[in-house]
Chain A
Amino acid sequence: MAAVESSLPPGTPSAMRNAFGTVLSALILVLIGVLAFSIRLFSVIKYESVIHEFDPYFNYRVTQFLSKNGIYEFWNWFDDRTWYPLGRVIGGTVYPGLTLTAGTIWWVLNSINIPLSVETVCVFTAPVFSAFASWATYLLTKEVKGSGAGLAAAALLAMVPSYISRSVAGSYDNEAVAIFALIFTFYLYIKTLNTGSLFYATLNAIAYFYMVCSWGGYTFIINLIPMHVLLCIVTGRYSPRLYIAYAPLVVLGTLLAALVPVVGFNAVLTSEHFASFLVFIIIHVVALVYYIKGILTPKMFKVAVTLVVSIGLVVCLIVVAVLVALVASSPTGGWSGRSLSLLDPTYASKYIPIIASVSEHQPPTWPSYFMDINVLAFLVPAGIIACFSPLSDASSFVVLYIVMSVYFSGVMVRLMLVLAPAACIMSGIALSQAFDVFTGSIKYQLSSNSKDDAEDNTTTKNAPKDDAASGKTDKGEEVAKERSSKKGKKKEREPADKPSVKSKIVKKKALVLPLETSIVALLLLIMLGAFYVIHCVWAAAEAYSAPSIVLTSKSHDGLHVFDDFRESYAWLSHNTDVDDKVASWWDYGYQTTAMANRTVIVDNNTWNNTHIATVGTAMSSPEKAAWEIFNSLDVKYVLVVFGGVIGYPSDDINKFLWMVRIGGGVFPHIKEADYLRDGQYRIDSEATPTMLNCLMYKLCYYRFVETDGKGYDRVRRTEIGKKHFKLTHFEEVFTSHHWMVRIYKLKPQKNRIRGRAKKLKLKTSSGVSSKSAKKNPWM
């Protein structure tokens, strides 16, 4: 925008218009920021200012630690309250970007005497960063197709449901800041590519560093940018600007990435990063070729080309051989499980149940796209085509971005989040182009009808319009207007595109559509946009705002609130000893440590499969064997989540098969088939004896029959199979108001003498069981 103004002499009408445009688009950007922030506040309004779900509780706990103890303590933090008895080195295993960001915000606010609590800062970090992300989208799209498209894309991103789902107030997770970092890194890359400025290249490396700090998804960047560079080279678009955009990023970026403890030497050792190094070598070879081409005569160059190509090939082959050797020496080929399941989508379901078990790692069906990017799904193809006419370095990058992200989103529903910005950019470009054409046609037809003067067209068409008042058409106006300034800018910046742009302007005189159909098309587009807005507001309000720590349900007699989780965690923190160990399935680990401040065995950071499998085995074993396992882990309380009374479907009984699978993956005596009747998972009278006797069944359904006299499970919609039974090794100590959380205490060991004779006999038994058998008084 500044470039446009400086290029025009001040005082002329068009300079005035541009100044007005700058102010107007700044105002619109502020409004977009407000929109992005406020649409994410539904969760606070409908529920309360509370941290959501599971992972955010861990981040919140880390932030609390950081704000209390300072950064050095945080860096060296060894957490002994989780993964008992192993513990976890938090400083070295966590992406610190989010925590440091929120910690910094809290520190700045406090030092200027705004006394917000850490929790408040954490709750509102995500909405604030969504505003930043939409501004970054504006910048990125402006670099690609001008500020009109930029504004449209920013407005779309501000309310795209996919992004809302991960960034509502209270959803304090890595993705909240990472999407901003992702878009901003891409913007700086494109900016460097367009300007060839080392300043932006350095900023780009720093933005990449921030991204590496924030999210494991940074590997998407470090593979996408090399791919784009390679694409540019292959299609003959190499330029010194490309070199400046890429080489500093690889060198500085890799060095900086290695500074993050959780990445460390992975930045140079794992296959995810090899593509960037390979392209780094290729771009040097190509740069050399271009340099030699410049200093030699064409004839000499032909001779030289053979030489250089052969040397370059040899170097490449050697490097490839080294890489292959390195990759082959590691068991998974140097790829992490999650990345492998992207390349070979069937990988995870075959080999890694713990990845396959997470619902956000499932492949999406078509309704997911409609839910998460809504009408953008219709507009993206038009955006792709718009990017091809004409194709520039920048537009080829966004095309590559959408293609890669849409493919990856097809493999894992979680990566829909990476697709969302790309879809917004593409749709912004498409909308901007469509509004440009339609409003231009209307303007042309109207003015030619009234004046019958064909020569006046170009100027009137490029002038800003001031009809129509709805929000969408506001954008349309912008689109029409800003495209003219874009053309001016492009002319001076990209000499390569000059002829095509110029010819387009000349041709544009005749590029109009009939008046009536243009108006209808415009109206339909506005309706489409209105539908998008309604959908997004609805999705933000209804679908994505539930904190999942407090549940509500509406029935004919009003609103019911289920606050059982906090009730139980509060019970734990008030009624148990501070050093007691609580066992539960890993989903509730973070919440237990953060809210109840009790030591847990496993948590949502699923780094140790064996440990999780141990808990899974305990849950799937009969009472006695489970007691042994838990006792060997010093567990004092077992917590299960049960939804059968109120119909809460994501309870432990529904997750139970995964416990069996994960447990059976490490301890083969747990077999999934034992829990299934003819391949069907059931808990009614047809259920297998193994199922009816396992700990999870007993802990969930203990005394359940007392609730209604029949034992009718409202989630499974059936009467349970075994209704009256007693617990021998566990005793119930707490059941929450709606029975959603039930806490049991392990019964203490009885007098040792009683079982002594039998115990001696059992010493011959092998493995884990013999170890724990020593402690078991009942055998």
Chain B
Amino acid sequence: MAINKKLLSLLLLVSSLSSIALSSSSFSDPDSDSDLTNELVSLRSNSESGVIHLDDHGISKFLISSPTPRPYSILVFFDATQLHSKTELRLQELRREFHLLSATFLAANNNGSDLNKLFFCEIEFSQSQSSFKRFNVNALPHIRLVTASTSKLTDESGQMDQSDFSRLAESMAEFVEQRTKLTVGPIQRPPLLSKPQISVIVAMIVVAAPFVVKRILRGETLLHDHRLWLSGAIFVYFFSVAGTMHNIIRKMPMFLQDRNDPNKLVFFYQGSGMQLGAEGFAVGFLYTVVGLLLAFVTNVLVRVGNVNVQRLVMLVALVVSSWAVKQVVYLDNWKTGYGIHPYWPSSWQ
């Protein structure tokens, strides 16, 4: 990385010198165009995925001082290291996807004529604040396509919408293909495991299988422990009735901040179609604890000799259980407006 940066600054120095030298020459000189393109190509070859790291100089050189129409378009990813910790922005994930997109584009147009028509660049906020200003970027994540004909950097027509990177690299590719008429090709994600890893794992399984089978035949594995199965079953039950799958599929947060009072946290969401993470776990716990107490009383407590201990524990269990049931009914009533009524014979009323 350090070498890259050095190289970059060197190149910038050389290029700025040359641009000064060339500034007197004609405005849309094909030579300078191809020079810029060549420079971009060489910069690109330094990066594994083909994403060029630019700073203020690079931006001014390749986008501002270069005459329109340029022979290339540039897709810029706006990054800020200080915001990487904010997971809700998904900056790092999007950056990885951006690199993947670039790599895919390179692979798809390896020998094609379109290879040098689109370059993927990223700029970092702390290094190039003025460029952020020039692009008029105030919020991240932000990806902008600067087409060959874009003359003003503040022109926001090339901005990628939220919906365009919602499906990650796939939708970014659609955006690029739509705007530039270049083909990106199908996104090829690196497989989770590489081929040698898979073969090692398969070999390990094959070697281990006889030992495992032997232990199974003897009945000595963890799998023969009833307690493991029991706790697994109870856990799955808790996991499901807490609506955790809903939270995963909908990507619900554990809690929200109150809109009126930012210091207050909202743990329970009113309305039946949605739930928050903490809320689900709380109610899942209430659902599960009653059954567990009942099972404890009927299976364990009956074996206890001391009557007073039995009495005390049962009292606690009964109080907790009825509290839990009441609480769930109350919460359900609060959340969904649940209210039931019995049907008595009309003569009783």
Interface residues of A (CB under 8 A from B): 234-236, 289, 305-306, 309-310, 313, 317, 345-346, 349-350, 363-371, 375, 377-386, 388-389, 391, 399, 402-403, 406-407, 409-411, 430, 433-434, 436-437, 441, 507, 510-514, 516-518, 520-521, 524, 528, 534-535, 537-539, 541, 673
Most chain-B Cβ atoms within 10 A of its Cβ — which of A236, A366, A380, A537? Answer: A366
Q: A386-B299, A524-B322 are in contact. Are A410 and B243 (CB under 8 A)?
A: yes
Q: At the interface, yes or no: B274 with Cβ under 8 Å from chain A?
A: yes
A-B contact count (CB 8 A): 203
> Are B272 and A365 in contact, CB atoms less than 8 angstroms apart?
yes
Within 8 Å by CB of B243, from A350, A366, A673, lies A366
Q: At the interface, yes or no: B230 with Cβ under 8 Å from chain A?
A: yes
Q: A521-B318, A538-B340 are in contact. Are A406 and B291 (CB under 8 A)?
A: no
Residues of chain B within 8 A of A399, CB atoms compared:
229, 233
Residues of chain A within 8 A of B209, CB atoms compared:
309, 313
Chain A nearest Cβ from B154, distance in angstroms: 21
The docked-state distance in angstroms from the alpha carbon of A528 to that of B163 is: 49
Query: Contacting chain A: which of B32-40, B109-117, B277-285?
Result: B277-285
> Are B301 and A363 in contact, CB atoms less than 8 angstroms apart?
no
Closest B residue to A535 by CB, please name it.
B340
> Are B241 and A369 in contact, CB atoms less than 8 angstroms apart?
yes
The docked-state distance in angstroms from the alpha carbon of A349 to that of B167 is: 11
Chain A nearest Cβ from B200, distance in angstroms: 16
Residues of chain A within 8 A of B295, CB atoms compared:
381-382, 384-386, 430
Closest A residue to B246 by CB, please name it.
A363
> Are B291 and A378 in contact, CB atoms less than 8 angstroms apart?
yes
* 27 pairs from A and B in contact (CB 8 Å cutoff): A234-B216, A236-B217, A236-B224, A310-B210, A345-B248, A346-B249, A349-B249, A365-B274, A366-B241, A366-B243, A366-B279, A367-B335, A370-B332, A371-B332, A378-B291, A378-B324, A378-B328, A384-B234, A384-B291, A402-B237, A407-B236, A433-B298, A441-B302, A507-B303, A510-B303, A517-B315, A541-B343
> Are B243 and A363 in contact, CB atoms less than 8 angstroms apart?
yes
> Are A365 and B237 in contact, CB atoms less than 8 angstroms apart?
no
Residues of chain B within 8 A of A511, CB atoms compared:
302-303
B318-349 interface bits toward A, Cβ cutoff 8 Å, 1 = contact, 0 = none: 10011011001100100110101111000000
The docked-state distance in angstroms from the alpha carbon of A369 to that of B288 is: 12
Q: At the interface, yes or no: B125 with Cβ under 8 Å from chain A?
A: no
Q: At the interface, yes or no: B310 with Cβ under 8 Å from chain A?
A: yes
> Are A402 and B233 in contact, CB atoms less than 8 angstroms apart?
yes
> Are B213 and A309 in contact, CB atoms less than 8 angstroms apart?
yes
**A-B contact sample (8 more), CB < 8 A, given A379-B291, A514-B310, A535-B340:** A234-B216, A236-B217, A366-B242, A366-B279, A380-B237, A384-B291, A389-B299, A524-B321
Within 8 Å by CB of A364, from B219, B246, B336, B338, lies B246
Q: At the interface, yes or no: B240 with Cβ under 8 Å from chain A?
A: yes
The docked-state distance in angstroms from the alpha carbon of A48 to that of B65 is: 79
> Are B249 and A345 in contact, CB atoms less than 8 angstroms apart?
yes
CB-CB nearest 5 A-B residue pairs: A381-B291, A385-B295, A410-B245, A410-B240, A378-B290
The docked-state distance in angstroms from the alpha carbon of A541 to that of B343 is: 10
Chain B nearest Cβ from A386, distance in angstroms: 7
Residues of chain A within 8 A of B213, CB atoms compared:
309, 313
The docked-state distance in angstroms from the alpha carbon of A385 to that of B297 is: 12
Most chain-A Cβ atoms within 10 A of its Cβ — which of B209, B219, B226, B240? Answer: B240
Q: What is the interface of chain B mostly: helix, strand, loop, or mixed?
A: helix
Chain B nearest Cβ from A421, distance in angstroms: 15
Q: At the interface, yes or no: B266 with Cβ under 8 Å from chain A?
A: no
Closest B residue to A317 by CB, please name it.
B206
Chain A nearest Cβ from B269, distance in angstroms: 9
Closest A residue to B210 by CB, please name it.
A309
Within 8 Å by CB of B340, from A310, A346, A433, A534, lies A534
> Are B245 and A384 in contact, CB atoms less than 8 angstroms apart?
no
The docked-state distance in angstroms from the alpha carbon of A159 to that of B217 is: 44
Residues of chain A within 8 A of B315, CB atoms compared:
517
> Are A367 and B307 in contact, CB atoms less than 8 angstroms apart?
no
Q: At the interface, yes or no: B90 with Cβ under 8 Å from chain A?
A: no
The docked-state distance in angstroms from the alpha carbon of A591 to that of B239 is: 39
The docked-state distance in angstroms from the alpha carbon of A382 to that of B283 is: 17
Closest A residue to B311 by CB, please name it.
A514
Within 8 Å by CB of A366, from B230, B284, B303, lies B284
The docked-state distance in angstroms from the alpha carbon of A637 to that of B207 is: 69
Chain A nearest Cβ from B182, distance in angstroms: 18
Residues of chain B within 8 A of A409, CB atoms compared:
240
Residues of chain B within 8 A of A309, CB atoms compared:
209-210, 213-214
Most chain-B Cβ atoms within 10 A of its Cβ — which of A363, A367, A375? Answer: A367
Q: A378-B291, A410-B239 are in contact. Are A385 and B245 (CB under 8 A)?
A: no
Chain A nearest Cβ from B89, distance in angstroms: 18
Residues of chain A within 8 A of B181, CB atoms compared:
none
Chain A nearest Cβ from B28, distance in angstroms: 36
Closest B residue to A289 by CB, please name it.
B217
Within 8 Å by CB of B318, from A289, A371, A517, A539, lies A517
The docked-state distance in angstroms from the alpha carbon of A537 to that of B343 is: 8
> Are B342 and A381 in contact, CB atoms less than 8 angstroms apart?
no
> Are B325 and A371 in contact, CB atoms less than 8 angstroms apart?
no
The docked-state distance in angstroms from the alpha carbon of A531 to that of B58 is: 72
Most chain-B Cβ atoms within 10 A of its Cβ — which of A317, A381, A388? Answer: A381
Residues of chain A within 8 A of B223, CB atoms compared:
234-235
Q: At the interface, yes or no: B6 with Cβ under 8 Å from chain A?
A: no
Q: A514-B314, A520-B318 are in contact. Are A388 and B249 (CB under 8 A)?
A: no
The docked-state distance in angstroms from the alpha carbon of A528 to that of B226 is: 30
The docked-state distance in angstroms from the alpha carbon of A528 to that of B293 is: 15
The docked-state distance in angstroms from the alpha carbon of A541 to that of B342 is: 10
Chain A nearest Cβ from B100, distance in angstroms: 17
Residues of chain A within 8 A of B216, CB atoms compared:
234, 236
Closest B residue to A672 by CB, please name it.
B163
Q: A378-B324, A534-B340 are in contact. Are A430 and B291 (CB under 8 A)?
A: yes
Residues of chain B within 8 A of A514, CB atoms compared:
307, 310-311, 314
Q: At the interface, yes or no: B140 with Cβ under 8 Å from chain A?
A: no
The docked-state distance in angstroms from the alpha carbon of A516 to that of B311 is: 8
Q: At the interface, yes or no: B275 with Cβ under 8 Å from chain A?
A: yes
> Are A521 and B206 in contact, CB atoms less than 8 angstroms apart?
no
Chain A nearest Cβ from B177, distance in angstroms: 12
The docked-state distance in angstroms from the alpha carbon of A346 to that of B251 is: 10
> Are A385 and B249 in contact, CB atoms less than 8 angstroms apart?
no
Q: At the interface, yes or no: B273 with Cβ under 8 Å from chain A?
A: yes
Most chain-A Cβ atoms within 10 A of its Cβ — which of B214, B232, B237, B274? Answer: B237
The docked-state distance in angstroms from the alpha carbon of A411 to that of B249 is: 8
Closest A residue to B290 by CB, please name it.
A378
> Are B229 and A388 in contact, CB atoms less than 8 angstroms apart?
yes
The docked-state distance in angstroms from the alpha carbon of A213 to that of B226 is: 37
> Are B321 and A363 in contact, CB atoms less than 8 angstroms apart?
no
Q: A236-B216, A289-B217, A513-B314 are in contact. Are A363 and B245 (CB under 8 A)?
A: yes
Closest A residue to B236 by CB, please name it.
A403
> Are B310 and A513 in contact, CB atoms less than 8 angstroms apart?
yes
Within 8 Å by CB of A512, from B219, B236, B299, B302, lies B302
The docked-state distance in angstroms from the alpha carbon of A385 to that of B322 is: 20
Q: At the interface, yes or no: B86 with Cβ under 8 Å from chain A?
A: no
Residues of chain A within 8 A of B234, CB atoms compared:
381, 384-385
> Are B302 and A410 in contact, CB atoms less than 8 angstroms apart?
no
Most chain-B Cβ atoms within 10 A of its Cβ — which of A434, A441, A521? Answer: A521
> Are B219 and A236 in contact, CB atoms less than 8 angstroms apart?
yes
The docked-state distance in angstroms from the alpha carbon of A382 to that of B217 is: 31
The docked-state distance in angstroms from the alpha carbon of A368 to that of B294 is: 23
The docked-state distance in angstroms from the alpha carbon of A403 to that of B231 is: 11
Within 8 Å by CB of A377, from B232, B241, B294, lies B241
Residues of chain B within 8 A of A403, CB atoms compared:
232-233, 236-237
> Are A375 and B325 in contact, CB atoms less than 8 angstroms apart?
yes
The docked-state distance in angstroms from the alpha carbon of A539 to that of B342 is: 11
Q: At the interface, yes or no: B244 with Cβ under 8 Å from chain A?
A: yes
The docked-state distance in angstroms from the alpha carbon of A518 to that of B302 is: 11
> Are B245 and A411 in contact, CB atoms less than 8 angstroms apart?
yes
Q: At the interface, yes or no: B250 with Cβ under 8 Å from chain A?
A: yes
Closest B residue to A313 by CB, please name it.
B209
